[in-house]
Amino acid sequence: MAFDPVSAALDIGGKLIDRLWPDPAQRDAAKLELFKLQQSGALAEMTAQTEINKVEAASTSLFVSGWRPAVGWVCVGGLVYTFVGWPLLTWASATWHFAVPPTLDLGALLTLLGGMLGLSGLRSFEKVSGVAAK
């Protein structure tokens, strides 16, 4: 059973087509038309989301277009802490006898960073191509 209204309506439409057209050729043609409508709706939805993404990326507001750089800086901060800060703090805790600092979950951090590097690569490609806003 479909959870979104569009898929539910298309499921109902498919069942109605089965009942209204007993001829298999006509039924298949009607289902093909219904499928084409579904596909064009999905394409229209993806196009609309792409336009929304373009508007968000073009914004000068830090709260609208700044979330991607913020996630990038969190990743950089986490990597600096994991590979530079934590080893130095562990050495210092052994030298001056204080509690060992906590570590970060490197698996989650690298997963997030891998996704961000993919986005950064696309952003760099946009800048080189002259498509980027800034």
CB 68 within 8 A of CB 119: yes
What pLDDT shows up at residue 1? 47
What confidence tens digit (pLDDT) does each residue in 21-76 have?
777 787 778 777 777 766 666 656 767 777 877 777 777 776 666 766 777 788 88
62 vs 64: CA distance, rounded Å? 6
